Amino acid sequence: MAPPLNHPWNLPPAEARALQERLRPLLITHDAFGQVQSVAGTDLGFEDDGRVARAAVVVLEFPSLRAIDQALVRRPTPMPYIPGLLSFREIPALLDALACLRRPPDLLLCDGAGYAHPRRLGLAAHLGLYTGIPSIGVAKSRLIGAYEEPGEARGAWSPLVDQGEIVGAALRTRARVSPLFVSGGHRVGLMTAMRWVLHCCTRYRLPETTRAAHRLASG
């Protein structure tokens, strides 16, 4: 699936929000992908007071979770961090990093929200839609939605509700650690998103994909 999208990333806030509203109906919110042999983690680090972004992507073979490819690029940051508009700040560098890979991964675990977004187009959803790659949003903290504290066991979860809609879930990826906020991205539904996040969380709270990308982006 070649990306049928092509739009600027340095937009004024109001225009960026309007664009999200226009892209929103293009997002595929149900499972629509085949065999997964590779899962990639994405993350960013910043330099020079946030003016330069370091985008890292690490591809792990599934189910071994062994790293088989990775990419790291440094790019000027197009926008400041504005809650709800994170994708405009981070996607440009991520696209260049993804282009450096030997071949595109089968699934993306992004560091941020997916569908659990004010206009249902968080970083994971936007990046998946733009690249056509199935994606999942994995955030360490909540952007939107109300939720009850999930049970203490690994795998316990509770729905994230916004405007009367279940947009994601607070998922306990390890016993007695604060939950992760998981949401579907492009071509991946919530229940499937949670399954994949758990598949990638072996010893720590964060998925091995995210950990690997974070280490690469940090040095």
In the complex, minimum distance from the CB of residue 87 to DNA, in angstroms, rounded to a whole number: 6
**Which of 143, 169, 197, 216 is close enough to bind DNA by CB under 7 A?**
143
Out of 55, 93, 111, 186, the only residue in the binding site for DNA (CB under 7 A) is 111
List binders of DNA among 66-85 (CB under 7 A).
Answer: 81, 83-85
Residue 61 or 205: which CB sits closer to DNA? 205
Determine which residue in the list 36, 46, 52, 192 makes contact with DNA, applying CB under 7 A.
46
Contact map string, positions 153 to 192, toward DNA, x by CB under 7 A: ----------------------------------------
- Would you count residue 209 as binding DNA (CB under 7 A)? no
Nearest partner of 188 among 143, 125, 94, judged by Cα = 125
Tell me which of 56, 98, 123, 216 binds DNA, using CB under 7 A: 123
Does residue 97 bind DNA (CB under 7 A)?
no
Minimum CB–partner distance for residue 140 and DNA (Å) = 3
Interface with DNA (CB under 7 A): 43-46, 50, 81, 83-87, 111-113, 117, 122-124, 137, 139-144, 217-218
